[in-house]
Structure 1
Amino acid sequence: QECILATHAKVLVQPEVQKDGTSADDPSAAKRKPTSLLVSLLGQSFNDVEVSEESKTPYVRAEEESDNYLKTSSLPLSEDPLNWWR
C-alpha cells in the first residue's frame, strides 16, 4: 500500500541549492537532476522497493503467490480459513 501512495502522491520538485547559495537553475551552476521532496524525506531505500515490485510482471507475481500458497502448511479443520486470507 505504501508504494501505491508514493506513486499517486503529488510531488513537489525543488531546485537544488549549492553550497555557495546559487540555484541549480543558474546557468553557471553545474546541471543537476532536481530532487523531489518525497525522496528527500524518505530516502532512496523507499524508491528501491517500489522499483523491484514494478519490475515483476503480473505473471511472475501470480506465480510467486501460488508457490507461497503451495508451500504453506494446511490449516487444521478447527481453524477458520478466512483468517488465513487476511
Structure 2
Amino acid sequence: MKVNPNFLGRLFTEKELTEEERQMAEKLPAMRKEKGKLFCQRCNSSILEEWHLPIGAYYCRECLLMKRVRSDQALYYFPQEDFPKQ
C-alpha cells in the first residue's frame, strides 16, 4: 500500500489512522521531557501540571482542536518526500 500523499509531512494520533497506515508511519512519543518539563511534540507547547488526567497522563490543551494529544500515547509521522526533479 502506498502512503496517501496528503499524509506526508504531517503528525497523526493513533485514532486518526488505520492499523495499516500506522505500520507505514514513524512512531514518535507524543511528549518529550526537557529540563524537567514536558513539551508537546505536535505543537511544542509547554505542558502545565494542571493538565493532568485522572489516569496519570498529561494532555496538551493547545492541540484540543486537532484531537487531544496525551503523554501516554504516540504520534505517527509520514516524512515529507523530495519534490521531483525537473
Q: What's the TM-score once normalised by structure 1's chain length?
A: 0.25
Max Rg structure: 1
Greater strand share, structure number:
2
RCO (CA 8 Å, sep 6+): is it higher in 1 or 2? Answer: 2
Q: What's the TM-score once normalised by structure 2's chain length?
A: 0.25
